[in-house]
Amino acid sequence: MVVKKKKIVILGSTGSVGQSTLDLVRCHPDRFEIFGLVAGSKIDALITQIKEFKPHMVALATKVDAEKLVSQFQGDIEVLHGPEGASQIVTHASVDFVMSAIVGAAGLLPTLAAAKAGKVIGLANKESMVVAGELVTKEAKKSGSFIIPVDSEHSALYQCLAGQRIEDVKNLILTASGGPFFKLPQEEFASITVERALKHPNWDMGPKITIDSATMMNKGLEVMEARWLFDVPVAKIKICVHPQSIIHSMVEYKDGSVLAQLGVPDMRVPIAYALAYPERITTGAKPLKLTDYRELNFFEPDFEKFKSLAIAYRVAERGETYPAVLNAANEVAVAAFLSHKIKFVDIPLLVEKTLDQHKSFVLSSLDDVLKADAWARKITQENI
């Protein structure tokens, strides 16, 4: 029997999730075909991908970079640019699946466009749900779009909820590695360098996500994402620090049962689950052998030491435009740290200062999100 190939668009094809997605496509050429690739500014990496996967459409962040690509391929593919170009690719009638893996708020517009167009979305861009979860989920319900989480924690929750009733859930439990500094005394945080913060003990990720893991802001963002993905109140979303990253998340039910999803830390596993859903495919990931682990440890999160996590929980409860402001302020602060302009301990201080200056309003449209985002970036930059 001939199986129709699933036509895929990757938003953020040159990033870590994008490259892992291409690895899986490479391993399963009979199942998947790359229809479109969207990247930021890494032209050389994108050119290499174009030559191998021969997409029909591609997009880069700027018009200048797009024109360089046009001259390289001379009309062989359609080259677009900016969020509008990315949105045009994901909404094409031929597209079956969109991997949303652009880091940060830049991934919101094309992800929302894919949701409006009724596409199946593999969501690795948590910021879309953080800043506009209500809008994205509303459009997805209206169009029949299907959102499958790709973050390892949310993929784990998705799998543990399969076949269960959401009203039987007592708590969603997001596990956290704790990052590289979970055991580091708080008084030593002031001396943390960029190089140290970029050395995650378990996961191979991009720089922004790695710093978010080090501050544990990533877990706060994941709480907001889970709130919208699974339609549960923030009070029912808990965090458990699990340094080995073998249990990716758990669901506690009201009868006392706890279901967990386990596996080695390898992003190809949740990516493959989303790509092939409801089937499962081989990934090349190392099999989990529990006897290799003498013990699995679990700890309560330290909200005093990891101030970003405490701030994010408060913002998740407040809602409105506060999540958009927190996300934008954090992106600016992390970029400043990576550029050696501020210290590691300054990241949550800057985010909190911007939040304190914000006068929130009810979020009713995409314009509201963009307005709050732009305001927060400007104010945070001024605060720096």
- pLDDT value of position 2: 56
Kindly tell me if the per-residue pLDDT of 365 is higher than 90.
no
pLDDT, tens only, 10-51:
999 999 999 999 999 999 999 999 999 999 989 999 999 999
Distance (Å, rounded) from C-alpha 21 to C-alpha 100? 11
Kindly tell me if the per-residue pLDDT of 289 is higher than 60.
yes
Q: Provide the percentage of residues in the chain whose pLDDT is more than 70.
A: 98
76 exposure class (CB count in 10 Å sphere: 0-12, 13-18, 19+) = exposed
Distance (Å, rounded) from C-alpha 54 to C-alpha 33? 9
Mean pLDDT of the chain: 93
- State the pTM of this model: 0.90
Q: Model confidence at 203, in pLDDT bands (50, 70, 90)?
A: low
160: left (phi over 0), alpha (psi -120 to 50) or beta: alpha
| E-only strand ranges, 131-253 | 146-149, 169-176, 237-241, 247-253
Burial 129-153 (b: 16+ CB within 10 A, else e): bbbbbbbbbebbeeeebebbbbbbb
Tell me phi and psi for residue 259, to 5 degrees.
-100, 135
Kindly tell me if the per-residue pLDDT of 384 is higher than 80.
yes
Query: In the chain, helix, strand, coil percent, each to 5?
Result: 50, 15, 35
Kindly tell me if the per-residue pLDDT of 1 is higher than 60.
no
Distance (Å, rounded) from C-alpha 10 to C-alpha 52? 14
Mean pLDDT of 332-338: 97
Kindly list the structural domains of the chain, giving each domain's residue range(s) and its CATH number in brackets, ordered by start.
6-149 (3.40.50.720), 167-263+287-314 (no CATH), 319-384 (1.10.1740.10)
